[in-house]
Amino acid sequence: MHIVTNCDKIDLSSENKTEELANKILKKLKLGDIVFLYGEMGVGKTTFVKYLINSIQKENKLDLTEVTSPTFNLLNEYQINQTKINHYDLFRLKSIEELKNLDLFEDRSSTITLIEWPQLIKKKPKNLIELTFDYEDDHTKRYVKIKGLDL
C-alpha cells in the first residue's frame, strides 16, 4: 500500500524533467494502481503518460509506440508483456451515468490504470495516486503535485 503524501511542487518545465518524473514514478507503480491526472488542457498530462508507457516498453526491450490522448475513443490500451495499461481520457464525458459503461475499475490485478480528467469520479478507488499538473503564473513553467505516492 502506498503512503499518502502531499509533496511540494515538482518542476516540469522541460520534457526531460517530465521524462525523469515518469521514470521515478514507474519504479514505484504496482499492478492494480490507478493514477488520476488532473490539469488543464496542454499542461502535460498526456506527455507524462507517453513517457511512462514508453519507459515500460524500453524496460521490456520493445519498440516504442506512439502514445496519444484517447480523447475521442475514451480508452487506449497497451499490452506490455504481462502488464496491461489502460489510458482513459474522460474530458468529453458529462455525467456519472456515462462512467458506468466504461468499467474503469474492473479486474485490475494485471492492469495499471491512467485516467485523465477524472473529476466525474466521486468514489475514489484504492491504490490511487493523484497527479495535479499546473502552470506557474506566467505559463512558461509547469509543475506537478503528487498525492498517494512517496517518491
Q: What per-residue confidence (pLDDT) applies to 95?
A: 87
Q: What per-residue confidence (pLDDT) applies to 137?
A: 76
Q: What is the pTM of this model?
A: 0.90
| Closest residue by Cα to residue 74 from 97, 98, 52, 53 | 98
Pairwise CA distance, residues 45 & 69, whole Å: 9
Secondary structure of residue 50 in the 3-state scheme: helix
Q: What per-residue confidence (pLDDT) applies to 2?
A: 42
Q: What per-residue confidence (pLDDT) applies to 82?
A: 86
Name residue 49's amino acid: V
Q: What per-residue confidence (pLDDT) applies to 34?
A: 94
Lookup: cell for 11: 518542476
Q: What per-residue confidence (pLDDT) applies to 6?
A: 54
Measured in residues, the chain has a length of 151
Q: What per-residue confidence (pLDDT) applies to 1?
A: 39
91 burial via Cβ count (<10 Å: 0-12, 13-18, 19+):
middle
Pairwise CA distance, residues 32 & 104, whole Å: 12
pLDDT in tens, the chain (151 residues): 344 445 678 999 889 999 999 999 999 999 999 999 999 998 999 999 999 999 999 999 999 999 998 988 899 999 998 889 999 999 999 888 888 777 777 777 789 999 999 999 988 888 899 999 999 877 788 999 999 888 7
Residue 126 CB-half CA count within 13 A? 8
